[in-house]
Amino acid sequence: MNGKSVFVSTGGFDFDKNKPSIMLMHGSGLTHIVWSLHEQFYASQGYNVLSVDLPGHGNSEGPSLKSIEDISHWVKNVMESLKIKKILIVGHSQGCLVGIDFASKYTDLISGLVLVAGSYKMPVNQSLIDLAEAGDDKAILLMMKWGYEGSKAFIGGNPVKKIINSSREIIEILSVDLNACNNYKTGKESLEKIICPTLCIFGDLDKMVPLEVGNKMSELIKNSETKVINNCGHMIIFEKAFEMRNIVKEFILKIKK
């Protein structure tokens, strides 16, 4: 696309132009791998699954895009390349900002929006930005501390640490994403323009997007509903993947009717 290769995981299914499409949008510094417990499940609900690697991330050519607005426009270009008329976006964390921006600008191109552990503004701690810009792996440790309920241990090692595992990736990918989140200032105005059905999912123990912040956001979206997952932090897509995807399933079944 535009002379650059873009990687998209489909959950192992061929793209079918006759099916509705769902795009899974990862968060800062991450890749499509975070959706490994979700892709086939949503594909089994009759959707084309497009689990993307943003430019510069994973298997997609760079450089990383520097603003949420640029990523939103990139999503539109992906749709045009695949001749998709409407899409349902499931975004996690930074992916929520992308979903909000896209849904506010391209109301005729989106059928539904799922915002997972996100808000319309996501200011980033300056200490984290400074560490990321310096390529310091302490940035990853801080993300782990704030991202998971109780900084829980994972069998086989922490999945995020496996994705962001070099100084170059911290500088060229994570720091760019964190700055994009920090610099996105039009989220509240964008919420007022969203008209598609919207589902907001929050973890009750989220330190990055506290529940009260998430609830304030959902109240500003006209056609929205909210679900709260208990005993869960910011990384809902890992921590409570099975519970989350069943909630999303109920939502997409409703909007398909």
- φ, ψ (nearest 5 deg) of residue 89: -105, 130
In which band, very low, low, confident or very high, does the pLDDT at 162 lie, cut at 50, 70 and 90? Answer: confident
> pLDDT by residue (tens digit) across 113-131?
999 999 999 999 899 999 9
> pLDDT by residue (tens digit) across 200-213?
999 999 989 999 99
Q: Do 31 and 25 form a contact (C-beta atoms < 8 A)? A: no
CA–CA dist 133, 50 (Å, integer): 30
Q: Which domains are seen in the chain, by residue range?
A: 8-122+186-256 (3.40.50.1820)
Stated pTM of the model:
0.95
SS3 content of the chain, % helix, strand, coil (to 5): 45, 15, 40
